[in-house]
Structure 1
Amino acid sequence: MGKDKDSPEKRFERVFAHYGLIEAFARRRGSRDPAAIAAETLSVAWRRLDDIDPDHCRPWLLATARNLLLAEYRESAPSPLDPASFEIEDPAAPEFVIDSPDPEIDRALSALDPIDREALLLVAWEDLTPKEAATSLGIRPATFRVRLSRARRRFREQLGDSPATGITATPKEERP
């Protein structure tokens, strides 16, 4: 990957082109400061520029942003003061933020388990292929495809008889 003949600045320009994607990703996951997450992600990318392929870096960038978001959530979690605080159901869990034109979609997505929701959003909202999404999560593509299939089924169950949503479950590689 470091064999690219372009200068580091030219390679980084291609990575930097994904700034908006990273910031939107962080915003949709409830970050307190999406611009800071995007900036830190690109800072890490600059330091690791020889380790990434600037032309196929979206999964790597989103995985890095995801790790930074998890660190942000951990930092914002209240420290337990007494045993009763351990009964709180994951206070550091991020708020789910989406700006869908259809409240039924918002409701159905919010009702999903976070793992199912993330699988759907990586493919449908972030426009990653299942292989790219698997890479960003650090799992095998076959594992992700099973996860995505189950998430789609659960999402359809949540939508019930709501035919006007306009949601399709066509994988990116099968789209025209």
Structure 2
Amino acid sequence: MDVAEKQFTELYERHHGDVWRYVARRVGRSDVGDVVAEVFLVAWRRLSDVPAGSALPWLYGVARLVLSNEARGQRRWQELALRVAAEPDRSISVDHADEVVSQRDVAVAFGRLSAADQEVLRLVAWERLSVAEAAVALGQSRATCAMRLMRARRRLRMQLGVVGDGAQRATRATPSMSNWGA
């Protein structure tokens, strides 16, 4: 057994029970083992970061972050379930030809955009980031990001043929584009 393994084994044996109880007071019994395992996985990966004299508080901090991530993941699953439940029943036989054509048109138009335009649109529409959050992700100011987003939307509309005499197509494309953020 090398030094790191020995150090981790001692850490685990000394603090496993305390971490288990800490987690058990915060989540249901069925989830405790997974959370504790994640805490000690982080401890193994960051063994050199574990403070020598105060390992237990450090482990509690890791546990708090793991629990926070778990809670965030649960909220996302619940939000997804609610969104899926709110979707209209697609099992009813309806002709979706216009919707398919519209989606294909959007995909083709989107593919013609520059990588920078695609990225700002993806962050706002697909990842559901606000302009301020997208700016952080892109390493830009909020104003720069807002301008890039506005220009990317305009170029997408141009690619879709929305400008000028493409008004009928604009009506079909607008619902697909309504999720593209503000």
Same fold (TM over 0.5): no
Q: Which structure's residues are more often helix, by fraction?
A: 2
TM-score, structure 1 normalization: 0.44
Q: Which has the higher contact order (CA 8 A, sep 6+)?
A: 1
TM norm structure 2? 0.42
